[in-house]
Amino acid sequence: MINTLLQGILLGGYYAVIACGLSFMFSVMRIINLAHGSLAVAAAYGLWLLAAKAGIPPFAGLLIVLPVMAAVGWLLQRFILERSARGGTLLPILTTFGLSIVIDNLLFEQFGADTRSLAPFIGNLSYASWQLPGHIYVGKLAVMMMVTAVLILGGLQFFLSRFALGRAIRATAEDPDTAGLVGIDARRVNAVATAITMVTVGIAGAFLGMRATFSAYSGGPQLLFAFEAAVIGGAGSLWGTLAGGIVLGLAQSLGAQLHPQGFLIGGHAVFLLVLFVRLSRFGMPVLDKLAASLRTRLRSPT
């Protein structure tokens, strides 16, 4: 049981990494990026190309892929998200959904349906482990992912609270109009925030390729795991994302011990339970207020 719990916690580190960008973008721009998983897969393919065709190891390849992902994030915000956000809250969701379909099909056209992996390019890191007392084995890659999750989330939190640009991002997230009155360029701030988000997406794509296989249509499941971890931990909360990832990882690990199909079922069940509790606590008061407002309007003379 201790080994199962430990593996679940470490699995949560990966979910926290892949959910970090989704949660960060929502907290800054209130946008749910449905192309999140597809972009992570695209980054994994980029690292695979560098490793397979140019002989550049994945960790060295990150020095090339991450700046490219940051540039993609900047362009994504300037030419797609910024324009779609003017049409309301629903249009960015539909836009990123369409973008995910485009990315998936482009990857399929280029690489086909064959699965790829970065494991052959990282030596024994993908399966090596440390043995702890009590016949407990801890994977080195799993520990690396957990440490990376803590560093990314802690770094983002420190950046948002200690740096002028980070405080500008927080101010823009709260009220972009008021932030503009004190000289903050909301367009630039949002573009920088999206670039930062895409860097975390690139790191998540690297870990995806190292720990498992991926294909052109692997983005959907990764988006689902990221969304569940973000919602469980509280969308927009960075440290909550880590907690949500750990809870999701524990639920999947415990579910796998109960039933062969319990790995996915356990995670989905916990997600739906948390979602139901939050809707019960926060959703119903909002609906009551809307209903009261509607009754008032109906009773008032026209």
Question: Is residue 296 predicted with pLDDT exceeding 60?
Answer: no
Q: φ, ψ for residue 132 (rounded to 5)? A: -105, 165
Which residue has better confidence, 250 or 174? 250
pLDDT-based confidence at 31, cuts 50/70/90?
A: confident
pLDDT-based confidence at 221, cuts 50/70/90?
A: very high
User: What residue ranges define each of the domains in the chain, with the CATH number in brackets?
Assistant: 2-299 (1.10.3470)
What count of other Cβ atoms lies within 10 Å of the Cβ of residue 109? 9
Give the mean pLDDT of the chain.
Answer: 88
Taking a C-beta distance cutoff of 8 angstroms, is the pair 242, 59 a contact?
A: no
Residue 301, classed as helix, strand or coil, is coil
Helix axes 2-29, 219-233, angle to 10 degrees: 90
Which residues share a beta bridge with 131? 137
- Per-residue buried b or exposed e for 232-268, using 16+ beta carbons within 10 Å of the residue's own CB: bbbbbbbebbbbbbbbbbbbbbbbbeeeeebbebbbb
As a whole number of angstroms, the distance between CA 166 and CA 159 comes to 5
Give the angle subtended at the CA of 251 by the CAs of 248 and 256, to the nearest 5°.
Answer: 125
Question: Is residue 77 predicted with pLDDT exceeding 60?
Answer: yes
β-bridge pairing 136-139 and 129-132: antiparallel
pTM: 0.89
pLDDT-based confidence at 143, cuts 50/70/90?
A: very high
pLDDT-based confidence at 295, cuts 50/70/90?
A: low
Lowest pLDDT segment from 69-73, 259-263, 269-273: 259-263
Q: For 160-215, what is each residue's pLDDT tens digit?
A: 888 888 888 888 887 777 888 788 888 888 899 999 999 999 999 999 999 999 99
Residues 6+ apart with CB under 8 A from 80: 95, 99
Q: What is the mean pLDDT of residues 27-38?
A: 88
Lowest pLDDT segment from 21-35, 66-80, 173-187: 173-187
Residue by residue, DSSP assigns 12-35 as HHHHHHHHHHHHHHHHHH----TT
- Give whole-number Cα distances, 7 to 192, 214, 227, in Å: 35, 21, 21
pLDDT-based confidence at 292, cuts 50/70/90?
A: low
